[in-house]
Chains A and B, each alone.
Chain A
């Protein structure tokens, strides 16, 4: 049983550099979500996809953040021109879509911890 995987698990970068994180959802889950979690806080929703369509992106923190899911499978989250305030854990989650169910449980990956120096 493979869960949601994220790569890398840790990333240290210098301010101003671009970084990209990858998320591989559970096979056949068509919904994929990105969250950010800062130290001592709960996760904060960023964006989500249904298949390859990005259905909600207004919560992305700035125009430096972008996400893609080109083939409806894995997704990438890119942060351009990183700032120290971007240091956080970036979480990915996926969920299946079942008919006639309102709630689709989200399964979370282990996260990518970003440190901007």
Chain B
């Protein structure tokens, strides 16, 4: 079956530090990949997506590249801000199995001023 594994948190960084949150996946076929973010007290929001190998998704300074050879979709940001503190979820959608999303366990990011 499909699965997503992401690094456990919490990840604690100082403002302006470089961020990497690792995500690897197992899937049959060729999934689409996503990063969702959940700010405190809010619902899940789509952060970025990539639908095929070598695609790079980007939004709000965050980037992730779909690497089929390593089955990875690591999230990066060059300079984090306090406002980036949230829980980040990596997810996949198996394009051959409807539209349901399979999520990783989430990584809490805490950015200190």
Which residue in B45, B51, B100, B102 is a CB contact (below 8 Å) of A103? B51
CB < 8 Å: which of B44, B100, B102, B106 contacts A108? B44
Main secondary structure of the interface of B (DSSP, over half): strand
Q: How large is the interface on B (under 10, 10 to 19, 20 to 34, 35 or more residues)?
A: 20 to 34
- Which B residues touch A40, using CB under 8 A? 105-106
A33 to B4, CA, bound (A): 19
State whether B32 touches A109 (Cβ < 8 A).
Answer: no
Question: Which of A42, A105, A110 is B46 in contact with, Cβ under 8 Å?
Answer: A105
Q: How far is the CB of B35 from chain A (nearest CB, A)?
A: 12
Contact A91 B99 (CB under 8 A): no
Query: B77 an interface residue at 8 Å Cβ cutoff?
Result: no
Instruction: Say yes or no for B25: interface residue by CB 8 A criterion.
Output: no
Interface string of A77-105 (1 = CB under 8 A from B): 00000000000000101010000001111
* CB closest chain-A residue, reference B4: A42
Q: A33's closest neighbor in chain B, by CB?
A: B100
Which residues from 31 to 61 on chain B have a C-beta closer than 8 Å to any C-beta of chain A?
A: 32, 36, 42-46, 49, 51
Distance between Cα atoms of A43 and B104 in the complex (Å): 8
Q: Please give the distance in Å from B97's CB to the nearest CB on chain A.
A: 9
B106's nearest neighbour on chain A, judged by CB, is: A42
Asked if A67 is at the interface (CB within 8 A of a chain B CB), the reply is no
The listed residue (B43, B91, B105) touching A110 by CB distance below 8 A is B43
A43 touches B89 (CB 8 A): yes
Which residues of the other chain, B, contact A106 by a CB distance below 8 angstroms? 46, 99, 101
| Known A-B contacts A105-B46, A111-B43; A43 and B99 likewise in contact (beta carbons under 8 Å) | no
User: Chain A residues in contact with chain B, CB under 8 A?
Assistant: 3-4, 31, 33, 35, 40-45, 48, 55-56, 59, 91, 93, 95, 102-111
Q: Given contact pairs A55-B98, A106-B101, enumerate 11 new A-B contacts (beta carbons under 8 Å).
A: A41-B106, A42-B103, A43-B103, A45-B102, A48-B100, A56-B98, A59-B100, A103-B32, A103-B49, A103-B95, A105-B49
Using a CB–CB cutoff of 8 Å, the interface residues on chain B facing chain A are: 4, 32, 36, 42-46, 49, 51, 89, 91, 93, 95, 98-106
